[in-house]
Amino acid sequence: MTNREALMRLSADKNDRMAVTSLHDNNAQIIRTTVGRYFGAGTIADNAEFALMQRLADHARLYEDSEDPEAWLARCTNTECDRLRNEAVHDKANRD
């Protein structure tokens, strides 16, 4: 399944596991690189990658068919990793 097909399927059903898996498999390098840049490696990065895939599925409804799916994915991956990191920092600050 192509990125475009996966995003279109997710825009209709954000719980489409096959589409999420395909999107992850097709873009594993950029996803891991971006997650690594924001979260390093280990359990935190693994959890962030899982959360990122959920958020990508949630935001697929915002994908326009006329957009380049790879560019959309790279932009959304970066934005969501930044949000996840900021949320983690905010949560940690509120616990302390």
Residue range 45-66, pLDDT digits in tens: 999 999 999 999 999 999 998 9
The Cβ of residue 42 has, within 10 Å, a number of other Cβ atoms equal to 8
**How far is residue 94's CA from residue 34's CA, in Å, rounded to a whole number?**
26
Determine the pLDDT at residue 96: 59
**How far is residue 34's CA from residue 79's CA, in Å, rounded to a whole number?**
10
**CATH, residue 24:** 1.10.1740.10
- Nearest CA among 50, 62, 65, 63 for reference residue 17: 50
% helix / strand / coil in the chain, to the nearest 5?
Answer: 80, 0, 20
Owning domain of residue 52: 3-95
23 backbone dihedrals φ, ψ, rounded to 5°:
-60, -45
Determine the pLDDT at residue 13: 96
Percent of the chain with pLDDT over 90: 81
Letter for the amino acid at 11?
S
Confidence label for 87 from pLDDT (cuts 50, 70 and 90): confident
For the chain, the domain total comes to 1
